[in-house]
Amino acid sequence: MAKPKLFEPLRVRNIALANRIVIAPMCQYSCDGDGRMNSWHTIHLGNLALSGAALLTIEATAVLPEGRISWADVGLWDDATEAAMRTTLHAVREWSDMPIAIQLAHAGRKASCEVPWAGGKQLSPENAHGWQTVAPSAIPHYASDNAPRALDKEGMREIRDAFAAAAVRAARLGLDAVQIHAAHGYLLHQFLSPLSNQRDDEYGGSLENRMRFPLEVFDAVRAAFPRDKAVTVRVSGTDWMDGGWDVAQTIAFAKALEARGCDAIHVSSGGVAAEQHIALAPGYQVPLARAVKEAVDIPVIAVGLITEPEHAEAIVANGDADIIAIARAALYDPRWPWHAAAKLGATVKPANQYLRCEPRQARGVFAAP
Protein backbone atom coordinates (compact mmCIF):
# COMPACT_ATOMS: atom_id res chain seq x y z
CA MET A 1 0.00 0.00 0.00
CA ALA A 2 1.30 3.44 -0.92
CA LYS A 3 2.40 5.65 1.95
CA PRO A 4 -0.19 8.28 2.80
CA LYS A 5 0.73 11.77 1.56
CA LEU A 6 0.04 13.09 5.05
CA PHE A 7 3.00 11.08 6.31
CA GLU A 8 5.47 11.93 3.58
CA PRO A 9 8.44 14.02 4.73
CA LEU A 10 8.97 17.60 3.60
CA ARG A 11 11.82 20.05 4.07
CA VAL A 12 11.11 23.71 4.82
CA ARG A 13 14.53 25.38 4.70
CA ASN A 14 16.29 23.96 7.80
CA ILE A 15 13.33 21.96 9.10
CA ALA A 16 13.04 18.32 8.09
CA LEU A 17 9.36 17.60 8.69
CA ALA A 18 8.82 13.90 9.36
CA ASN A 19 5.24 14.24 8.13
CA ARG A 20 2.81 16.96 7.02
CA ILE A 21 1.14 17.52 10.42
CA VAL A 22 2.12 20.56 12.48
CA ILE A 23 0.75 21.88 15.76
CA ALA A 24 -0.55 25.42 15.31
CA PRO A 25 0.06 28.07 17.98
CA MET A 26 -2.62 28.22 20.67
CA CYS A 27 -2.75 30.94 23.34
CA GLN A 28 -2.85 29.64 26.91
CA TYR A 29 -3.38 32.94 28.81
CA SER A 30 -1.45 31.47 31.71
CA CYS A 31 1.37 33.85 32.63
CA ASP A 32 1.24 35.80 35.87
CA GLY A 33 1.12 39.16 34.13
CA ASP A 34 4.83 39.43 33.43
CA GLY A 35 4.97 37.61 30.07
CA ARG A 36 7.04 34.80 31.56
CA MET A 37 6.36 31.15 30.81
CA ASN A 38 5.81 28.93 33.83
CA SER A 39 5.17 25.29 34.70
CA TRP A 40 1.85 25.26 32.82
CA HIS A 41 3.67 25.99 29.56
CA THR A 42 6.18 23.23 30.31
CA ILE A 43 3.36 20.71 30.79
CA HIS A 44 1.37 21.98 27.80
CA LEU A 45 4.25 22.13 25.31
CA GLY A 46 5.87 18.98 26.64
CA ASN A 47 2.65 17.07 26.06
CA LEU A 48 2.30 18.32 22.48
CA ALA A 49 5.99 17.67 21.80
CA LEU A 50 5.25 13.96 22.27
CA SER A 51 2.31 13.98 19.86
CA GLY A 52 3.99 12.58 16.76
CA ALA A 53 3.48 15.78 14.76
CA ALA A 54 6.35 17.14 12.70
CA LEU A 55 6.56 20.62 14.25
CA LEU A 56 5.33 22.39 17.37
CA THR A 57 4.67 26.15 17.28
CA ILE A 58 4.69 28.17 20.49
CA GLU A 59 1.61 30.31 21.02
CA ALA A 60 1.32 33.94 19.87
CA THR A 61 4.18 35.59 21.74
CA ALA A 62 4.07 39.34 22.23
CA VAL A 63 7.10 41.35 21.14
CA LEU A 64 6.15 44.19 23.52
CA PRO A 65 4.07 44.21 26.73
CA GLU A 66 1.35 46.30 25.07
CA GLY A 67 1.22 43.79 22.22
CA ARG A 68 -0.30 41.05 24.38
CA ILE A 69 -3.87 39.97 23.70
CA SER A 70 -4.43 39.55 27.42
CA TRP A 71 -2.46 40.53 30.50
CA ALA A 72 -1.62 36.81 30.95
CA ASP A 73 -0.02 36.26 27.53
CA VAL A 74 3.50 35.00 26.86
CA GLY A 75 6.09 37.56 25.80
CA LEU A 76 9.62 37.66 24.46
CA TRP A 77 10.71 41.26 24.98
CA ASP A 78 13.39 41.23 27.69
CA ASP A 79 15.94 39.03 29.44
CA ALA A 80 13.40 37.80 32.01
CA THR A 81 10.89 36.54 29.42
CA GLU A 82 13.74 34.98 27.45
CA ALA A 83 15.09 33.20 30.54
CA ALA A 84 11.66 31.83 31.45
CA MET A 85 11.17 30.49 27.93
CA ARG A 86 14.63 28.94 28.02
CA THR A 87 13.68 27.00 31.16
CA THR A 88 10.56 25.61 29.50
CA LEU A 89 12.36 24.73 26.29
CA HIS A 90 15.15 22.97 28.17
CA ALA A 91 12.62 20.71 29.86
CA VAL A 92 10.75 19.95 26.62
CA ARG A 93 13.88 19.28 24.60
CA GLU A 94 15.23 16.89 27.21
CA TRP A 95 12.55 14.41 26.13
CA SER A 96 11.61 15.40 22.57
CA ASP A 97 13.57 16.13 19.41
CA MET A 98 10.54 17.66 17.65
CA PRO A 99 11.43 20.95 15.88
CA ILE A 100 9.96 23.96 17.68
CA ALA A 101 8.91 27.28 16.14
CA ILE A 102 7.55 30.44 17.73
CA GLN A 103 4.83 32.78 16.55
CA LEU A 104 5.77 36.43 17.13
CA ALA A 105 2.83 38.80 17.44
CA HIS A 106 1.39 42.17 18.37
CA ALA A 107 -2.34 42.36 19.07
CA GLY A 108 -2.79 46.05 18.22
CA ARG A 109 -6.32 47.25 18.96
CA LYS A 110 -7.34 43.74 20.13
CA ALA A 111 -4.90 43.87 23.06
CA SER A 112 -5.51 44.63 26.77
CA CYS A 113 -8.11 41.92 27.31
CA GLU A 114 -9.21 39.78 30.21
CA VAL A 115 -8.49 36.05 29.96
CA PRO A 116 -11.24 34.13 28.10
CA TRP A 117 -12.58 32.22 31.10
CA ALA A 118 -13.10 35.55 32.90
CA GLY A 119 -15.11 37.00 30.02
CA GLY A 120 -12.36 38.01 27.60
CA LYS A 121 -13.55 41.59 27.25
CA GLN A 122 -11.16 44.45 26.65
CA LEU A 123 -9.90 46.16 29.80
CA SER A 124 -9.65 49.95 29.93
CA PRO A 125 -6.31 51.68 30.57
CA GLU A 126 -7.62 52.52 34.05
CA ASN A 127 -7.93 48.83 34.93
CA ALA A 128 -4.97 47.40 36.84
CA HIS A 129 -4.57 44.76 34.11
CA GLY A 130 -5.28 47.08 31.15
CA TRP A 131 -3.38 49.56 28.99
CA GLN A 132 -3.81 51.90 26.04
CA THR A 133 -3.91 49.98 22.77
CA VAL A 134 -2.47 51.08 19.43
CA ALA A 135 -3.53 50.46 15.83
CA PRO A 136 -3.09 51.80 12.29
CA SER A 137 -6.15 54.02 12.84
CA ALA A 138 -8.06 55.12 15.94
CA ILE A 139 -10.94 52.68 15.26
CA PRO A 140 -11.92 50.22 18.03
CA HIS A 141 -12.67 46.59 17.21
CA TYR A 142 -15.94 46.72 19.14
CA ALA A 143 -17.82 49.99 19.53
CA SER A 144 -17.69 49.47 23.31
CA ASP A 145 -13.88 49.15 23.33
CA ASN A 146 -11.52 51.91 24.33
CA ALA A 147 -10.38 53.53 21.06
CA PRO A 148 -6.81 52.66 20.10
CA ARG A 149 -4.18 55.33 19.56
CA ALA A 150 -3.25 55.66 15.89
CA LEU A 151 0.41 54.80 15.50
CA ASP A 152 2.82 57.45 14.31
CA LYS A 153 5.96 56.46 12.43
CA GLU A 154 8.09 56.44 15.56
CA GLY A 155 5.67 53.97 17.17
CA MET A 156 5.73 51.82 14.06
CA ARG A 157 9.53 51.76 14.08
CA GLU A 158 9.48 50.70 17.73
CA ILE A 159 7.17 47.79 16.94
CA ARG A 160 9.15 46.77 13.84
CA ASP A 161 12.36 46.79 15.87
CA ALA A 162 10.68 44.83 18.67
CA PHE A 163 9.77 42.07 16.21
CA ALA A 164 13.41 41.95 15.10
CA ALA A 165 14.70 41.94 18.67
CA ALA A 166 12.35 39.07 19.57
CA ALA A 167 13.65 37.15 16.53
CA VAL A 168 17.20 37.60 17.86
CA ARG A 169 16.08 36.22 21.22
CA ALA A 170 14.35 33.31 19.45
CA ALA A 171 17.63 32.52 17.71
CA ARG A 172 19.50 32.57 21.03
CA LEU A 173 16.93 30.12 22.38
CA GLY A 174 17.74 27.77 19.50
CA LEU A 175 14.23 27.84 18.07
CA ASP A 176 14.00 26.28 14.63
CA ALA A 177 11.69 28.80 12.96
CA VAL A 178 9.80 32.04 13.46
CA GLN A 179 6.24 32.60 12.32
CA ILE A 180 5.03 36.19 12.01
CA HIS A 181 1.39 36.64 12.98
CA ALA A 182 -0.37 38.72 10.32
CA ALA A 183 -3.83 37.19 10.78
CA HIS A 184 -6.89 37.13 13.03
CA GLY A 185 -7.36 40.87 13.26
CA TYR A 186 -4.14 41.56 15.15
CA LEU A 187 -1.84 44.47 14.39
CA LEU A 188 -0.28 43.43 11.07
CA HIS A 189 -3.66 42.27 9.77
CA GLN A 190 -5.09 45.61 10.92
CA PHE A 191 -2.63 47.33 8.59
CA LEU A 192 -3.56 45.03 5.72
CA SER A 193 -7.34 45.36 5.93
CA PRO A 194 -9.09 48.49 4.61
CA LEU A 195 -11.70 47.95 7.34
CA SER A 196 -9.20 48.76 10.09
CA ASN A 197 -6.62 50.81 8.18
CA GLN A 198 -7.96 54.21 7.16
CA ARG A 199 -4.65 56.07 7.13
CA ASP A 200 -3.98 58.77 4.56
CA ASP A 201 -0.18 58.43 4.51
CA GLU A 202 2.05 55.93 2.67
CA TYR A 203 0.83 53.15 4.99
CA GLY A 204 -2.85 53.41 4.05
CA GLY A 205 -5.15 53.47 1.06
CA SER A 206 -3.81 51.33 -1.77
CA LEU A 207 -2.96 47.66 -1.39
CA GLU A 208 0.72 48.49 -1.85
CA ASN A 209 0.55 51.00 0.99
CA ARG A 210 -1.41 48.72 3.34
CA MET A 211 1.13 45.93 2.81
CA ARG A 212 4.06 48.25 3.44
CA PHE A 213 4.35 47.96 7.24
CA PRO A 214 3.77 44.18 7.44
CA LEU A 215 6.45 43.74 4.77
CA GLU A 216 8.81 46.01 6.68
CA VAL A 217 8.28 43.83 9.75
CA PHE A 218 8.93 40.70 7.70
CA ASP A 219 12.15 42.18 6.28
CA ALA A 220 13.33 43.13 9.78
CA VAL A 221 12.65 39.65 11.16
CA ARG A 222 14.21 37.92 8.17
CA ALA A 223 17.35 40.03 8.59
CA ALA A 224 17.50 39.37 12.35
CA PHE A 225 16.88 35.62 12.33
CA PRO A 226 19.64 33.29 11.09
CA ARG A 227 19.54 33.01 7.31
CA ASP A 228 19.63 29.22 7.43
CA LYS A 229 16.47 29.07 9.55
CA ALA A 230 12.88 29.39 8.36
CA VAL A 231 10.64 32.44 8.67
CA THR A 232 6.96 31.91 7.84
CA VAL A 233 3.85 34.09 7.98
CA ARG A 234 0.30 33.39 9.11
CA VAL A 235 -2.35 35.31 7.16
CA SER A 236 -6.11 35.68 7.15
CA GLY A 237 -7.21 34.79 3.63
CA THR A 238 -10.36 36.89 3.91
CA ASP A 239 -12.14 39.20 6.36
CA TRP A 240 -15.48 37.59 5.45
CA MET A 241 -16.76 41.14 4.91
CA ASP A 242 -17.62 43.16 1.80
CA GLY A 243 -14.97 45.80 1.23
CA GLY A 244 -12.45 44.03 3.41
CA TRP A 245 -9.29 41.99 2.92
CA ASP A 246 -9.89 39.15 0.47
CA VAL A 247 -8.16 36.23 -1.19
CA ALA A 248 -6.93 38.27 -4.18
CA GLN A 249 -5.13 40.63 -1.83
CA THR A 250 -3.86 37.67 0.18
CA ILE A 251 -2.30 36.24 -2.99
CA ALA A 252 -0.59 39.56 -3.74
CA PHE A 253 0.75 39.66 -0.16
CA ALA A 254 1.92 36.03 -0.37
CA LYS A 255 3.79 36.72 -3.61
CA ALA A 256 5.50 39.74 -2.04
CA LEU A 257 6.50 37.65 0.98
CA GLU A 258 7.82 34.85 -1.23
CA ALA A 259 9.96 37.35 -3.14
CA ARG A 260 11.46 38.50 0.17
CA GLY A 261 12.42 35.00 1.33
CA CYS A 262 9.37 33.76 3.21
CA ASP A 263 9.51 29.98 3.64
CA ALA A 264 5.82 29.10 4.03
CA ILE A 265 2.38 30.72 4.24
CA HIS A 266 -0.13 29.56 6.85
CA VAL A 267 -3.64 30.47 5.64
CA SER A 268 -6.34 31.13 8.21
CA SER A 269 -9.14 33.72 7.99
CA GLY A 270 -11.21 36.39 9.72
CA GLY A 271 -10.72 38.23 12.95
CA VAL A 272 -10.56 41.88 11.92
CA ALA A 273 -14.29 42.69 11.86
CA ALA A 274 -16.67 42.15 14.75
CA GLU A 275 -19.52 41.86 12.20
CA GLN A 276 -17.98 38.96 10.26
CA HIS A 277 -20.24 36.04 9.37
CA ILE A 278 -18.41 32.77 8.76
CA ALA A 279 -20.15 29.63 7.53
CA LEU A 280 -18.22 27.14 9.61
CA ALA A 281 -17.78 23.66 8.17
CA PRO A 282 -14.96 21.11 8.07
CA GLY A 283 -12.16 22.55 5.95
CA TYR A 284 -13.95 25.86 5.41
CA GLN A 285 -10.61 27.66 4.94
CA VAL A 286 -9.05 25.09 2.60
CA PRO A 287 -10.18 26.89 -0.62
CA LEU A 288 -8.25 29.94 0.58
CA ALA A 289 -5.12 27.83 1.07
CA ARG A 290 -5.53 26.27 -2.37
CA ALA A 291 -5.84 29.69 -4.01
CA VAL A 292 -2.58 30.78 -2.39
CA LYS A 293 -0.86 27.49 -3.23
CA GLU A 294 -1.73 27.93 -6.90
CA ALA A 295 -0.01 31.33 -6.89
CA VAL A 296 3.25 30.63 -5.01
CA ASP A 297 5.99 28.01 -5.01
CA ILE A 298 6.60 27.89 -1.24
CA PRO A 299 4.73 25.45 1.02
CA VAL A 300 1.21 26.41 2.08
CA ILE A 301 -0.36 25.34 5.37
CA ALA A 302 -4.10 24.72 5.74
CA VAL A 303 -5.95 24.96 9.06
CA GLY A 304 -9.50 25.17 10.39
CA LEU A 305 -11.91 22.41 11.45
CA ILE A 306 -9.71 19.69 10.00
CA THR A 307 -10.37 16.99 12.55
CA GLU A 308 -10.52 13.69 10.65
CA PRO A 309 -7.38 11.96 9.34
CA GLU A 310 -9.05 11.02 6.06
CA HIS A 311 -9.94 14.67 5.45
CA ALA A 312 -6.39 15.81 6.21
CA GLU A 313 -5.01 13.16 3.85
CA ALA A 314 -7.36 14.26 1.05
CA ILE A 315 -6.32 17.91 1.40
CA VAL A 316 -2.65 17.07 0.94
CA ALA A 317 -3.21 14.33 -1.65
CA ASN A 318 -5.42 16.63 -3.77
CA GLY A 319 -2.82 19.40 -3.72
CA ASP A 320 -4.99 21.86 -1.78
CA ALA A 321 -2.14 22.44 0.68
CA ASP A 322 1.26 21.02 1.52
CA ILE A 323 0.89 20.85 5.29
CA ILE A 324 -2.01 20.48 7.73
CA ALA A 325 -2.06 22.44 10.99
CA ILE A 326 -4.15 21.20 13.88
CA ALA A 327 -4.93 23.23 16.98
CA ARG A 328 -8.02 22.52 19.08
CA ALA A 329 -8.04 18.97 17.76
CA ALA A 330 -4.58 18.54 19.27
CA LEU A 331 -5.73 19.86 22.63
CA TYR A 332 -8.65 17.46 22.62
CA ASP A 333 -6.53 14.56 21.41
CA PRO A 334 -2.79 15.16 21.98
CA ARG A 335 -2.03 11.90 20.15
CA TRP A 336 -3.98 12.86 17.02
CA PRO A 337 -1.03 12.10 14.72
CA TRP A 338 -0.74 8.61 16.22
CA HIS A 339 -4.40 7.92 15.56
CA ALA A 340 -4.12 9.37 12.06
CA ALA A 341 -1.20 7.07 11.31
CA ALA A 342 -3.18 4.07 12.55
CA LYS A 343 -6.17 4.95 10.36
CA LEU A 344 -4.14 5.69 7.25
CA GLY A 345 -1.62 2.86 7.48
CA ALA A 346 1.45 4.93 8.36
CA THR A 347 3.96 4.88 11.20
CA VAL A 348 5.03 7.32 13.90
CA LYS A 349 7.96 7.34 16.28
CA PRO A 350 6.80 7.50 19.91
CA ALA A 351 8.92 8.13 22.96
CA ASN A 352 10.47 4.89 24.14
CA GLN A 353 8.47 5.15 27.35
CA TYR A 354 5.25 4.81 25.32
CA LEU A 355 6.22 1.88 23.09
CA ARG A 356 4.26 -0.61 25.19
CA CYS A 357 0.93 1.17 24.59
CA GLU A 358 0.66 0.26 20.90
CA PRO A 359 -2.83 -1.28 20.51
CA ARG A 360 -3.12 -4.82 19.21
CA GLN A 361 -5.45 -3.66 16.43
CA ALA A 362 -2.85 -1.11 15.29
CA ARG A 363 0.29 -3.25 15.31
CA GLY A 364 2.96 -1.60 13.17
CA VAL A 365 1.89 2.00 13.75
CA PHE A 366 4.92 2.52 16.01
CA ALA A 367 8.25 2.65 14.22
CA ALA A 368 10.94 0.43 15.73
CA PRO A 369 13.19 2.30 18.20
What are the sequence ranges of the domains in the chain? 5-362
Tell if the pTM clears 0.85, that is, is over it: yes
Q: Which of 142, 186, 284, 354 is catalytic?
A: 186
Distance from C-alpha of 72 to C-alpha of 66, rounded to nearest angstrom: 12
Q: Point out the least confidently predicted range of 34-38, 40-44, 49-53, 271-275.
A: 271-275
Q: For the domain with range 5-362, which CATH number is right: 3.40.50.300, 3.20.20.70, 3.30.750.200, 3.40.50.720? A: 3.20.20.70
Q: Residues of the chain with pLDDT > 90: what percent?
A: 95
Half-sphere exposure of 135 (CA within 13 A, CB side): 29
Distance from C-alpha of 47 to C-alpha of 58, rounded to nearest angstrom: 13
> CA–CA distance from 270 to each of 23, 120, 188, 189, 255 (Å)?
20, 18, 13, 10, 20
pLDDT digits (tens, 9 = 90+) for 240-287: 999 999 999 999 999 999 999 999 999 999 999 999 989 899 999 999
Distance from C-alpha of 108 to C-alpha of 153, rounded to nearest angstrom: 15
Does the annotation mark 142 as catalytic? no
